[in-house]
Structure formats: C-alpha cells, structure tokens
Structure 1
C-alpha cells in the first residue's frame, strides 16, 4: 500500500485504462438503459423521459409474468442438468492422472473456440427429423422389429407399423438442450477448481468408516465443494435466463423466453423504455443472486472462524 502512495502516477497509469473501459462500456450504457426505463414511447422513433413507472407496472402483467416464470423453469432445468452432468466431469478431471488433466481441461474449454451461434445451429442437424439422433433411433427401431419377427412376435405389431421420428426440435426440450450445451463448461470449471483443492483424506476416511459412495458425496464431498456449485449455478442460470438466440433458433412459438421478449421490444416493437425495464428486472435478479452468494459465503466463513 505504501508503494502506491509513494508512486501515485504509477497507480493512475494502471487504473485509468480499465477504469475508462468500465465507465465507457458498462456504466454509461447501463445508465442509459436505466434512464430509458422511466420513459415513454413517443411516436414511431421518439422517446420521452417522464419518470413514469408504467413500464415496470406493465412488466407485472400476467402475460409477462408467465413468460418470466417459464423462462425461470427452463433456465433452472438447464442449470440443474449442467450441475448433474458437471459434477462427474469435474470429478473425472480432478482425479485423472496428472498427464491427462491438461488434455481433459482443453476438451472442456474447446467449445469456446467456436462461436456459440454456430454451435447452436449445429444442434439442428442433431435434433431434426432426419438428424443424427433420429437416424440412430430409426436404426434401433428397425433392428428391434427384425428381432421381434425372428422370435415370432412381429404379427403383434408391438412397435407400430411405421417409424415416427422423435420430436426433438422446436420445443422446450431443444431449448433446454441448447442451453446445457452452451453453458456446461461454465459449470465444470468452478466445480473442478473446488474439487481440485479438496482434501482427499476426508473421502478416504468416509469410505474406510463404511459410508458408501452416495453417502460420502452427500455428507462429505458436497458440503466441501458447495461454493463451487453455487458459483456454477449463478454463472449458468443468470445468462441462460436472458439468452434470446437459442430459443429463437431451437424453440418454437411456445418456447419463447423473456430474452426474446426484450429483443423484440428493442427491434420489432421499437418500445425501448419497456425493453429497458424488462432488462433491468433481469439485472436486479442478477444482483440479488450475487448478494445471496455473498451472504452464503460470509456465513460459511464465519462458521469456519468460529470452529
């Protein structure tokens, strides 16, 4: 600290570039959105700042509350799927031989090298009627029919006469799968960071004392790695709640999320004040989640200090 006081010029040299970036590209646009949320649409392209709260009141309409609730359910389901998939992957990497860890981590972060929009479009080839999943399903269906014919059960038509592709695209399932595909690495990395620091003697002691693997995970591993899980949940849930292009590409008319509503307000409807109010509601939810994370971390730190 004393070195900064003795050399204030050096301090300002280091602080000014990131400070300018933060103000110009975060605080200033956010301030504009905040001011717009208290305005009214005037004419076709005009906006009048009147200090009204009508935009926030309109956001509480049952129509938009239903969309927000559906968005929470889809984002929450995708986050839970990322958590269930992320724990085994993070454990596999953390307990892998040292020579394999770098390669496994590279595989996890490799999707970041490809634009997420391109990766989302690639899922269409996977989930469409003649996509990879349905082609594999059709092959299994045909083999099962052949097996039933061999054992003399083909006449009962147990599998149906005609093959019907699975409806995997343009619905809530496709949106959830797209969110999991896009955000799974963001869950794996914080989990891996916590598991890597885990004292493995606790796991060995639990197993030696007769606890099974499930009991060891529930009573030992999860309590010691829950902070990584909470961080992953926040990192995955908040962006997935506001994403609009994944539901737009993979979802149908009944799979639209709140991000799509916000996008339409700024583009098709040209109602920037209402779009700004909806955007800020998501931001307030973000701040609430971060505040909850800080409170839980503080309580955990106090608990450790009191032991």
Structure 2
C-alpha cells in the first residue's frame, strides 16, 4: 500500500485472497431451494414408529359444484426387530369424520367394509363386521363444499379398539373455476408387467399412500386435469432432484376417464435418494403446478 496517510494492518500470517477466491466471494449467494420443493420432500418422511397407518388425501372435481375428496389408508408394516407387543394390534378399519367450520358433519363412515353414505341423508354409514387385518390400501370418496374442513381419523383394531387418532385441518379447493386446474396426483404401483397394464387400464384402481419405492417397482401417476370449456391442458412433466433441478422429462397420456391423464414413472435408472415429480399444466386458462415427493431405495 503506497497511498500517503493510509495504514494497513493485518494479522500475522495473513495472505491476500487469490483471484479465484475473490471471484467466489463476490458471487451472489446461491438461490435457496423453493419452499414448494421443501414441502414436497417433507411429505416423503417416514411416519413415526408410533404410527400404525399411512394416509393420503386427494381432491378432484365432484358433482354439483362440489369437490370430491378421496381418502386412502394402508397399514405400516412392522420394522425389522419390532416385537408384536410394541403395538396394541393390527389396524382393521378407519373411522372417518369430516366436519365443517361450524361443527356440522359433512361426512361420516368407516373404511373399509362399509356402505358409505353422505351425511345429507342419515349422517352415518352402516358398518360391517370384518376383523381381518388390511394388507393393502383402502379407499373412500365423498363430495363436499369447497372451503375449510376438519378431518377426524380414528384407527381401529379387530376388537374395535382405538389404535391411533388424528385430526387434520384441510382446505378443500374449488375446482369449478374456468382456469387451468390440477387435482391431486395419485401414485399406483405394480410388481409385474401384467399387473402394471391391468392397473393402468382400471379406472377404479386404488392409489398408494406410501411414497417410498424400490427401483424394481413399476409406477404410474394419474392426475385430474381441467381446462376452460372442457378442454384438456397440455402437461409438462419432469423428475427433479432435491435442489429442484430438472433431471428427466416424462410424457403424459390421456386416460379413458375424462379429465384424467397418466404418467409412467420409471425408477430403474434413479440412484437411491429423494426426488420430486413436477407436473405443470398450461392452457387457455393459465398455468397450474403440482409437486409430488418420493423416495427410491436400493
């Protein structure tokens, strides 16, 4: 430093930054992972050891201006080394109650082995007496008015004992708008090619609540899509990494059921880790986007 009247002091052993270090220090900070990506990844987290079931809630367009809510639950397998005494029993059914903000019931039923009824008729559903543990996914669907709703879930064992309870606050979307809209993407899994083809052709196939899959699993996604005047919006689909960066582009194809499209989700080439399926819709009514987090194991 040769400027007059200026004194430079540095700690012992200090060396000036190299040109590379200076450039790196002056670069703007890297952009943070988008909040929507973080939320999608958070949904992949395994339930606590105390939980006995996984649940999934999806929405699609219902009848008479209402939104159809689909509730799916499946038992969580015991972890290796977990003793039979660690649980009060195997889950057999789930009692479900949807409540409006004013406390009035919107739906009440038990899943499965029930003849489900809307509370607009008698307010309840007739229950069967099956006591066999559930091995796969069970589903119920009901139509409600868009808006806030509280979902009360009670997991029951073979003797009707309560194994677990949960209350969840949900905002049911209004899917009657003329804008481009997406319902909730649902994931389906098959082990073999014949099973995969059968599920893809089945409009009543039950989706999964699980979000952890092996690389040999065969997955496809079914998503409700809505455009103004009954049009079908074009979909752009990508697999993203944890940072939200696009890795692989996928193709969507129309399903036989109106307003639904299907996407095959190959896993064999993905290393173990967490990923996001990004579904973007574009049409005359604007744009819409849904993110689905999932984990691939070895």
Q: TM-score, normalised by structure 2?
A: 0.23
- Which one has more relative contact order, counting CA pairs under 8 Å at least 6 apart? 1
Q: TM-score, normalised by structure 1?
A: 0.23
